[in-house]
Structure 1
Amino acid sequence: MGAYQTIDPAHYASTLDWWRDAGVDVLVEDAVRDWLALAPAALPPVPAAAPAEQALPETLAAFAAWRAGADAPEAGWSGVSVAASGPADARVMVLVDCPEREDGDAGALLSGPGGRLLDRMLAAIGLSRETVHLAAICARRPAAGRMPRDVEARLGEIARHHVALVAPERLLLLGDATSRAVLSADRQAVRGSLQPFHHKKGTTGVMASLHPCLLIERPALKAESWRDLRMLVAGMGMDEREERTA
């Protein structure tokens, strides 16, 4: 083998083709590269910002219209929205979790047997539907008949805003789901005493009690409900009639 060897040019061509296929298209780089250094870790993607919740209307009339409109959380649910009733400046407000089955057709909350029991309960402490502000946390009845947990926090926020707009002296929460949404606590955890609810117009005393439909199923609980009602209006100067709910 001599010093002067004849090398086939095809060898150079195949080598250049191999480097080109490997992505090498320049002879040198301007900057020095440390080929043994570890590649920098990829940064995690920046999560998209959660959409801001829509500001709630600041007047009761505008709030009522919004509550029945397309922007309410329940707008996509089946059925019809059942509006709140009663004076805008009522001294006592009553909240239930959602409309009953018959309420949509009647266009009023608690229009069935539970509502008739509520009427007797209110009458026993000198109140009536005409004197209280009655509303539901869910404007429409959920498909499962109970408040969905995934929107409970938002609906609770809306309900608290509703209470602040009415600014009653007392608020009666009927049912465990209603208590969780407004007070962030089950009824059993706060039963037996008025809970303060502070809002921009002052403070409302809140009583968490039993739903009338439960009282129909379990009449023995009416004594506990009666104690709650007495405590609800204590100190308000109501003309109570000394009779138990029937």
Structure 2
Amino acid sequence: MTALIDFSDPYHPEGPRLRHAFGIPRQTLAAHSLAQVRPVLDAVQAAALQGRWCVGYLRYEAAPTFDAALVVHAPDGPLAWFAVYDEALPWSEDATASATTAQVQWFETCPRPAFDAAMSAIQRAIADGELYQVNFTAQLEGAWQGAPQEGAVQALFAALQRAQPGGYAAYLDTGDAQVLSVSPELFFDWQGDQILARPMKGTAARGATLEDDAAQAAALRASPKERAENVMIVDLLRNDISRIAEPFS
């Protein structure tokens, strides 16, 4: 399989999950420059309106396509990539279990001194009024322990799903790279004339018991800081969506 999706239904999260597999695409679309991003997205939209399935990604580095003031790092691959399929296939239970999960050793790319320096710079910028929110992230790099057998990447994806059940999971093999995405958060869902966003903010350590988890969740809901951050991200997305939609419509 070249792609797998396992999504919670955005409008009925407790209902059946949307689980589909995809074989050989009829077409692939890629944007290697900012000028190519919109044409690729237009082609994806046209294919979807024809009843085809489109699975792919849009990089953060494609952002200047929509706002030239944004500054991004140089990408290390296509800015946008999509595969177009004629049909979705049933996802069998063993679709990602064809190999034993190989062990992966992870390495940090942001040592603690660099992290502390970044936090100090962000706090100064907030205090100076330069910005009010930063999504600071740090990458991990991994290496297989031993030679992975065929299907090891799919097995790793299955292991990630078991560790992070629910939410929105996707596997994509572009031929040059493989994407394993396991997210609890819905960026947005677009159906007809309705756009739905379910942003998340606030984190807490897992407890040793379900009671501990419930206590942590209650503490998150009661925290003025966490609630303020959640309201802020909801307002941010509301503002973004209002640029392409009619408010209160």
Q: TM-score, normalised by structure 2?
A: 0.19
The structure where strand makes up a greater share of residues is 2
Q: TM-score, normalised by structure 1?
A: 0.20
| Larger-gyration structure (1/2) | 1
